[in-house]
Structure 1
Amino acid sequence: MHIHKAALASLALAAATAAPACAAAPWPVATVQAEQEDDSDLQSFADAIGKARIVALGEQTHGAREEYLLKTRLLKFLHQKMGFDVLLLESGFYDIARLAERVERGEKLDDIAPGNVFFMYANSAEGRGMLRYVDQQRALGRPMALGGIDSQHTGALSKAELLTRLQAYLHTTAPALANGAAWRQYARTAQPLLEMQRTPPSSAEQAAFRQHAAALKDALCASGPAKPPEPQGAAFWCQTVKSVDAQAASYWSADHDYQRDNQMGDNAIWLADRLYPGRKVVIWAHTVHVARGFQRTPAHLQAGEVMHRHWGQDYKVVQFSGAGGEILDFATMSKLPLPAIAPDSLEAALAAKAGGANAVLGLAGADAAGARPQFSYEYGTHSGARLGVNWDVLFFIRNITPVSMSR
């Protein structure tokens, strides 16, 4: 995830700001051990997920060790005990599709992730636990299908080959769009986006890019939904071109026309409903991308709100929070202390209930404390979000420690 800190504070809430209070109920305790044979402490979690087909595992900072350990344990539980067998990552849509091909051919995801999977997942010891679990399960004959939801293409594969492979595909399906001045101008303008260059090109270059992008979408996105898409056929390239278009809109407007998350939600929906229809899906991403109710403007939704509007109750969100400690700030790679929690916050109530436990599971509507203001340790920003409104399950971790970078 790459998002300006100032932009986080500008997120508005489309949903209500308080969860309904109800009768008090006990808070079941969960551990954050990477491996544990007895999953009885996760029964309340399983009950909260119920029959939902899509479960998003959020994270507030990308840099908390206990979040990754607990997320990996929840991933194992969802996969092995609840039948979830698709994993969608906050990483480039194109890059993960290409990695998935290589994994199918026998390469290990942990080996090929650096430079293509978001670097806090690919390079931290704790993030790599998730990658290694995917490799282990494939070796055992219990594979998880893979996909990337991010419309922001920053991986090495995108930089090196996305446009070349798109042109090669167009040569076989729409050769007029793969040749000539219009294609060359489109490619010259798109490549800097893949290099994460935010400087806008000239107005004429932007206009030519958008004109050719529109022609590409007309050609690639025309197939109806009845026929299942090929893994890297026209529908795949349609999503890729739409993603590059969204990246252009966000970068060239300095995020005033922020289309990244709208397209992230669209990518997730395409992967879950078109490429993997009927299968149960785990989404692994930052909470700011997967929570319900977040928007910048009515036209600029965060991905979680896009997905919630599409899937409704079939979409569940899991959040994590804490009472103190440190994280590794992915933007500066320095340790960042977490601000003190407010005494009237939900986290303060959970800390009192936790006793000596390191993680406490909060369920939407399980306690009157669910209506309390919730603290966000995302760089000290208070989001005003609520358990039961913006997410369905909250794991409270008493003390957060930083991830360790292993490569």
Structure 2
Amino acid sequence: MSAQTRPFVRPIPAIDLTRPEFPDSAEVGALIGDARVIALGEGAHSISEFTAYGDALLRHLVQEHGVTAFVLESGFAEGLLIDEWIHGGPGELDDIARTGITYGFGESAQLKRQLAWLREWNAGGGDVRFYGMDLPGSSTSPGPAVQACLARIPARGSDDELRRVSDLGGRTEAAVAYASMTAEERDHLIAALRDLVLRVREAGDEVARRCADSIDAFLGELAWDGESGPYPREQYMARTVGWIAAREARILLYAHNGHVRRTPLDGRDMMGALLDREFGDDLRVIGMTFGTGPVVTFTPRSPRPFDCDVALGERGTVAGSIEETLEGQLDALGADTAFVDLALAPSGFFGGCEGMFSSGALEKVGDFPASFDALVHLRRVTAVPGAFARLRDELDAPERTATR
């Protein structure tokens, strides 16, 4: 079927991983209009092409559309270091990205190139801020948020002990350390964290309070027992984006499709649904999907945290997925990448589309135009070099079996 009969599907050039220029900037500009919050979602983490699109879109929105902040699915407390660095702070880029970006995303060459551009832009007279919006310690350790809080409030003699007990280590190490604690040790840690949250709220420092709220949400995730409603993490991320939007003219938010979608996932509102209620027409959501590319699978070895075998494979489309439908559009257009304006799509276009691919399975989406304003679909994508090896090494690291 031709592009003339499907005007909502536009073929666009593939992204150049070494020269990030958004390939259809006019289409994006028309789509976002005057919206103050632009959310770009990715169908999988650690995909080179997705990160490059995020970099390219950020540069375009900063230069042409007045975006003043980049918000990433990464720890809020850790992100304070990134913002300092892109405004001329000390440190080497590799170390800053590794420390200031959580979940290992800072190892990506594309993301590091993005941070270097932000530093250069600000040095030339610009003023773009960087914010994380997520829980501390890759969602497994409160330590980074504790450190950030204590640096901004009056000191107490017990602060060094709090720093010690709250620093649980890296992502997998922290999960193992917490699981290995006695009930008494856990109660002591939780009580100390709750006391810190109260101290911060009394002190009145806004940034410290946002860090303290991330600790509160971290504790909420630990205590979550399946009750209905948004997860504490999703609520925290949405509140953080709202806090950032109140301080900035326009923001670009970059996270997984599952977080930015406007509609519930398995009956539960995610961050995007909460933002939709707050911002309404001031929010635009663009998702990114792919037809063929890497998929990581996890096979549990035991009930212990992160004790699993991990394998890297390749997946194509699955029946009932939006990716299958979009691959057909690429075939018809003779293209490898397309920009899809979902608001212009006829209702019959989504017939048979039950969801989108995520984390090795079909993630249900009942109404695509209600979930996303547009999609960027790529026929084939590649993994960030070294990402899988780093993940495998992390899961197999000797300290995973250590106890505290």
TM category, shorter: 0.7 to 0.9
**What is the match of residue 382 of structure 1?**
362
The CA RMSD over aligned residues, in Å, is: 3.7
Counterpart for residue 10 of structure 1: none
| Residue aligning to 1:261 | 234
Q: Within 5 Å, which residues of 2 pair with 1:185-196?
A: 190-192=166-168, 195-196=174-175
Give 5+ residue unaligned stretches, structure 2: 299-305, 391-404
Residue 132 of structure 2, aligned match among 148, 151, 158:
148
Contact 2:275–2:283 (CA under 8 A) maintained in structure 1 = yes
Give the residue type in structure 1 aligned to 2:343.
G
Equivalent residues in 2 for 1:6-405, closer than 5 Å: 25-34=7-16, 41-107=24-90, 110-111=93-94, 112-118=96-102, 120-154=104-138, 159=143, 162-164=145-147, 166-167=149-150, 169-171=152-154, 178-179=156-157, 190-192=166-168, 195-196=174-175, 197-199=177-179, 213-221=193-201, 234-251=205-222, 253=224, 258-273=231-246, 276-277=247-248, 279-295=249-265, 301-326=269-294, 335-342=312-319, 345-354=321-330, 355-368=333-346, 370-372=349-351, 373=353, 375-385=355-365, 386-405=367-386
Letter of the aligned partner of 1:360 in structure 2?
Answer: A
Q: CA deviation at 1:105?
A: 3.3
Shift in alpha-carbon separation, 1:328–1:144, aligned structure 2, 3 A: farther
Would the alpha carbon gap of residues 41 and 61 (structure 1) be closer, same or farther in structure 2, given more than 3 Å must change? closer
Alignment match, 2:303: none
Secondary structure at the aligned position of 2:60 is classed as helix
Deviations 1:117-168 (A, max 9, x none): 1355321233333323323323433342111101133499974x65355335
Q: 1:131 to 1:203 in 2, by over 3 A?
A: same
Matched AA of 1:359: T
Which structure 1 segments of 5+ residues have no match?
A: 1-22, 173-177, 224-232
Give the alignment's TM-score, normalised by structure 1. 0.75
- Percent same amino acid among aligned pairs? 20
TM-score when scaled to structure 2?
A: 0.75
Q: How many residue pairs get matched? A: 362
SS in 1 for 2:115: helix
- For residues 211-268 of structure 1, what are the alpha-carbon distances to aligned partners after superposition, in whole Å with 9 as ceiling and x for unaligned? 5555544453368xxxxxxxxx612111211211221232355887942222121222
Contact 1:32-1:69 at 8 Å conserved across structures:
no
Q: Secondary structure at the match of 2:292?
A: coil
TM-superposition CA deviations, 1:162-202 (whole Å, max 9, x none): 53553354326xxxxx346xx78865653338734442855
Query: What amino acid sits opposite 1:315 in the alignment?
Result: L
Counterpart amino acid of residue 364 in structure 2: G
Question: Secondary structure, in 3 states, of the residue corresponding to 1:115?
Answer: helix
Matches of 1:115 and 1:254 in 2, distance apart?
31
Cα separation, 2, equivalents of 1:164 and 1:184: 10
Tell me, in whole angstroms, the C-alpha distance in 2 between the residues paired with 1:63 and 1:329.
14
SS at match of 2:132: strand
Q: How far apart in 2 are the matches of 1:193 and 1:252?
A: 20
